[in-house]
Amino acid sequence: MIIQKSDNPRIGSFDPENYSFGDHFIDHMIICEYENGQWGEPKLMPYGPLPFSPANMAFNYGQACFEGMKAYKDKNGDVFLFRPEKNFERINKSATRLAMPEVPEEAFMQGLKVLIDADRDWVPHGEGKSLYIRPLIFATEEALKARISTKYMFAIVASPAKSYYSAPVSVKISDYYSRASSGGVGFAKAAGNYAASFYPTKLANEEGYEQIIWTDDATHENFEESGTMNVFVRINDTIYTPATSDKILDGVTRDSFIQLAKKRGIEVVVGDVKVKDVIAAHERGELKEVWGVGTAVVTSVFEAIGYKDKKYDLPKLSAEESYALTLQRDLVAIQTNNAEDPFGWRVLVEKNILETV
């Protein structure tokens, strides 16, 4: 790995008690470039802009995918990643579906560890705080040809993240717009999937909803995802979540919630979640909770769901009654090294890795 440390680190001006998420970046980034059919040597370098023409193929033909993951600092100052091998597997599934080359394990896993170790002072400690990490791959060939690019960049950038807390939101069940097609790229963290979701979300915002529950594009009868998260429904004391497919992201938080629920003896049913069954359960008073899960906020609790012209309020459960919040606590405790990790999910970021690469 090529190491080029920043001559002008900004860490001195970073206030871990006062920052906003997503637009402040740590001092370094990882870059690895692909051309002539192979990946070059990964490089740690100062975070910042690189030269790209407007004819860059990523801007024109959208070959781009990413991962979202976090690093957590415990009370001893040790830094941990959470199930990074899942993100490594998934970025390459996304890459394959977008006809991009798979990124090598060394660039991804060692890149992560070298970057986080070099900038470990940027990982905030405290309730809900973490370092949000963004690995991504995008096309970099400069050509106006609608075909597979011959050049790519793999990059890892990161930004300190704030509290998990997010206020309960109202979500609208989509009966017109969709985010994925059968035989499409919905399961991939493809850049274009996000762009496609913004306009329908804006329309839902204008109707007073924060997010959309996406349904299948053919019938709009089945739940798929919620916003940019996987979705869970609790009817009585059973949790339901859609099975992964070529339309549904195989979320790391989703998988962790399923395992944590089973560990607690909560029944989890993975399969079709039908809009009519959810509405019927509400009418019987059996719909207890609906929530989204994802890396960014872990859990987004829904206080109401809209369908057609009706808004269905959900019960307000205490933090103890709520499966969503209980499983969130279980997950965060493992992520932040405040609980045993029977699953082997935590990965320690060793110190002074730089000296060994």
Q: What does the binding site for its own copies look like in residue numbers (CB under 8 A)? A: 21-23, 25, 29, 31, 47-55, 58-64, 66, 96-99, 132, 134, 136, 138-139, 142-148, 153, 155, 157, 159, 174, 176-185, 190-196, 198-200, 202, 217-218, 228, 296
Q: Are 136 and 66 in contact (CB under 8 A)?
A: yes
What Rg value do the Cα atoms of the chain yield, rounded?
Answer: 21
Task: Pick the closer one to its own copies by CB: 14 or 52.
Answer: 52
Query: Rounded to the nearest whole angstrom, what is the least distance from the CB of residue 152 to its own copies in the complex?
Result: 11
Task: Pick the closer one to its own copies by CB: 167 or 320.
Answer: 167
Nearest to 345 by CA among 247, 270, 249, 263: 263
> What backbone torsions phi and psi does residue 262 show, to the nearest 5 degrees?
-60, -40
The Cα angle at residue 78 between residues 77 and 81, in degrees rounded to 5: 130
Query: Rounded to the nearest whole angstrom, what is the least distance from the CB of residue 228 to its own copies in the complex?
Result: 5
The two tokens of residue 221 are: 């009868």
Query: Rounded to the nearest whole angstrom, what is the least distance from the CB of residue 111 to its own copies in the complex?
Result: 12
Region class of 264: left (phi > 0), else alpha (psi between -120 and 50), else beta: alpha
The two tokens of residue 29 are: 């980034």
H or E element at residue 295: none
Query: Rounded to the nearest whole angstrom, what is the least distance from the CB of residue 68 to its own copies in the complex?
Result: 8
Query: Rounded to the nearest whole angstrom, what is the least distance from the CB of residue 119 to its own copies in the complex?
Result: 14
Task: Pick the closer one to its own copies by CB: 29 or 233.
Answer: 29
H or E element at residue 298: strand 298-307
Task: Pick the closer one to its own copies by CB: 87 or 159.
Answer: 159
Query: Rounded to the nearest whole angstrom, what is the least distance from the CB of residue 35 to its own copies in the complex?
Result: 14
Task: Pick the closer one to its own copies by CB: 66 or 323.
Answer: 66
Q: Are 226 and 292 in contact (CB under 8 A)?
A: yes
Nearest to 296 by CA among 204, 217, 194: 194
Region class of 40: left (phi > 0), else alpha (psi between -120 and 50), else beta: beta
Task: Pick the closer one to its own copies by CB: 107 or 239.
Answer: 107
Task: Pick the closer one to its own copies by CB: 185 or 327.
Answer: 185
Query: Rounded to the nearest whole angstrom, what is the least distance from the CB of residue 69 to its own copies in the complex?
Result: 12
Q: Please compute, for residue 311, the number of CA atoms within 13 A of its CA located in the half-sphere on the CB side.
A: 11
